[in-house]
Amino acid sequence: MFKQLKTKKFNEQIIDQIKKLIEDGTLKKGDKLPPERLLAEQFGSSRASIREAMSALDMMGIIESRSGSGNYIKINIEESAIDEAMIGELLTHHSLFDIYEARQEIEPSLVSLASVRKTDKEVLEFQEILKKLLNTSKNLIKNPENVNTYMEEDIKFHLKIAEMAHNPILFKFYASICLLLREETWLELKRADILKNGTQQTEIEHIAIADTIISGDAEQAKKNLHVHLERIRIGLLSKLENKSIKGI
């Protein structure tokens, strides 16, 4: 069913193929995709490329990742009209400063809306995501090799906030930002920072953001988010900026 990949970015080709299989009816809503290992064999790619593609497809609402069960097709033919040019553009390099600026503009609205629009079911799901994030953070002390898993859980935390805002347009914009946060430059920068400085302060900020969203305090949630984003700017982007100035 799947074809061997060519020179184009592997994760982008995987997305393209799965989208086409949905459009021609080969894959239908509710179908389960093969396990990661088998997909890597069929595509002739690494498992890392499969994971990147699955994460991107999950964020775009094309598949649904069910813990302990696998990945399932979430849309049907009629819902599959996703602009391939847009996907390609999202998966190319963008300035990390532009990405940060986009987060500054969009995320305050998302936390504010999530504070007043969340459902009881979503709160329970959000608490589970936070719990998993905190557990992954604690495990990093003994297992620093799990840093990539931690970064994925971090993205899921913020993406759940976007989902709770109940604005599908803003959600798609933010899902696009999350795709860009998989740029290798950003991942290397964040990975190095986590391994050097740990995640304790980040988790204090995540808890503060979550508590105010759950309590319905929209204004304080925005303030807590601002603190979180400002520390990212000072702690990570300033380092990148200094490297650029030095020509590194």
Longest dimension (CA), the chain: 53
Domains of the chain by range and CATH? 10-84 (1.10.10.10), 93-246 (1.20.120.530)
Residue range 37-96, pLDDT digits in tens: 899 899 888 887 888 788 778 877 788 888 778 899 988 766 655 555 555 555 565 678
Residue range 114-152, pLDDT digits in tens: 999 999 999 999 999 999 999 999 999 888 888 988 988
Spell out the residues 6+ positions from residue 154 whose beta carbon is closer than 8 angstroms to its own. Answer: 133, 202, 206
| Residue pointed to by tokens 């709770």 | 164
150: region left, alpha or beta (phi > 0 left; psi from -120 to 50 alpha): alpha
Residue range 117-126, pLDDT digits in tens: 999 999 999 9
